[in-house]
Structure 1
Amino acid sequence: MNNTTSSRSCGLLDLETRSGIVQAFAVAAGIPLLALASWIEVPMLPVPMTMQTFAVLLVGALYGWRLGALTVAAWLACAALGLPLLAGGAGGVARFAGPTAGYLFAFPVAAALVGWLAARGWMSGFLPATAAVLLGHAVCLGLGATWLAWLIGPDRALAAGVLPFLAGAVLKSALAAAVVRLVAQTGNTDVG
């Protein structure tokens, strides 16, 4: 496969060119990774900060836009069925209609965006990788806050659903970029 094809559709792990069995294994492996990241919490008000977005956006960068979004959607589907895969060990369909629903529905979109940016060379250095992941966080916060604003009003949504999470988004973006760079260097992956 030439680099042009690879740069158009694949994440850093080049999974979208692999067999269906490898892809299915990647999706199956991604679900517990996303759950584990969801269970890592830093106490904050009104809700704790988790490593969910870190894992969601890392999956997008590593898996590619299609497989990354599919993996995140599969994790969310399992959570909707009641498995305790979300923050605080939560699960069930009610989470997808409550105040955090916008954030949850934003996750596959954000993973796809970061995977798409990864395929276009945004993971070629620490700063562009950080910028790509920050854009993914912006999607999560923007769509989440939009839903929340519909429920509680825009001012309260901004104060409760965006501002408290900005510093964490920056830190998690830098951490994700560092992991992406490590994976690229370890695997001698062409990310540019």
Structure 2
Amino acid sequence: MSTKIESKAISLSDVGPKLEEQSLLVQTIGVLLGVAILGLLAQVKVYLPFTPVPVTGQTFGVVLISAMMGKKLGPVTSILYVLAGAFGAPIYAGGASGWAVLSGATAGYLVGFPISAWIVGSLAERGWTKSFFKCLATMMIGLLPIFVLGVAWLTYRMGFILAIGVGLIPFLPGAAVKTLLATAILQVPFKNANR
């Protein structure tokens, strides 16, 4: 008796649809793992001398995780991340936590995470992460609500011109690198052996 093993290449963007088909326990583990990864990526930070908002790995994590987890589990992961930090888990940038962070300079960006996650997850489920350029567009579109809400909140606190100067322009080069990196990671194929 011989067993035939079929091998095909899949990418990380194929994970989400398969995760949603799993048991609630497996989905919960996936979401909690996503929250932990976001918390770790938040510790990757660079403070720029001219802005109160640090450059972190959070936005990279939001778009990457959401592309893999889809429009349901991606936003759940982002919401749980924001709530866990608000309730005291030291998972925001620099190990910060608490409700005060949600009224500080980074509040708008954090509020944008679940919206971004839903957009990226929705586009990923429509197959936009299968090709390099559509995936790149998905990552860029996904960052829009984060930047729009982040700048809107900073505008409320310090005015529009200053908000653009300290809350958007300094982050555009990093956003470009993050979108390219997330796209490259999602495009890497690996072998999947099916029996």
Q: Where on the TM-score scale, by shorter chain, does this alignment land: which range? A: 0.7 to 0.9
Question: What amino acid does structure 2 have at the position aligned with 1:12?
Answer: D
Question: In proportion to residue count, which structure has more strand?
Answer: 2
Name the CA distance, whole Å, in 1 between partners of 2:46 and 2:108.
21
SS of alignment partner, residue 151 of structure 2: helix
How do residues 26-175 of structure 1 correspond to structure 2 at under 5 angstroms? Answer: 26-45=30-49, 46=51, 47-175=53-181
Misfit runs of 4+, over 3 Å:
none
SS of alignment partner, residue 186 of structure 1: strand
Question: What amino acid does structure 2 have at the position aligned with 1:144?
Answer: G
Residues 129-155 of structure 1: CA distance to partner in whole angstroms, max 9, x if unpaired? 111001111211111101111111111
Query: Percent identity between the aligned chains?
Result: 39
Q: TM-score, normalised by structure 1?
A: 0.88
Higher relative contact order (CA 8 A, sep 6+): 2
SS of alignment partner, residue 130 of structure 2: coil
SS of alignment partner, residue 14 of structure 2: coil
Runs of 5+ in structure 1 lacking a partner? 1-10
| 1:22 aligns to 2:26 (yes or no) | yes
Map of 1:12 onto structure 2: 14
Q: TM-score, normalised by structure 2?
A: 0.87
Question: What amino acid does structure 1 have at the position aligned with 2:147?
Answer: L
SS of alignment partner, residue 99 of structure 1: coil
SS of alignment partner, residue 80 of structure 2: helix
Shift, 1:43, TM fit? 3.2
Name the CA distance, whole Å, in 1 between partners of 2:154 and 2:21.
38
What is the RMSD of the two structures over their aligned residues, measured on CA atoms? 1.2
Name the CA distance, whole Å, in 1 between partners of 2:55 and 2:184.
20
Shift, 1:94, TM fit? 0.5
Question: What amino acid does structure 2 have at the position aligned with 1:36?
Answer: L
Shift, 1:41, TM fit? 1.4
Name the CA distance, whole Å, in 2 between partners of 1:101 and 1:88.
15
Map of 2:6 onto structure 1: none
SS of alignment partner, residue 122 of structure 1: coil
Runs of 5+ in structure 2 lacking a partner? 1-12
Residues 90 and 187 of structure 1: CA distance in aligned 2, closer, same or farther (over 3 Å): farther
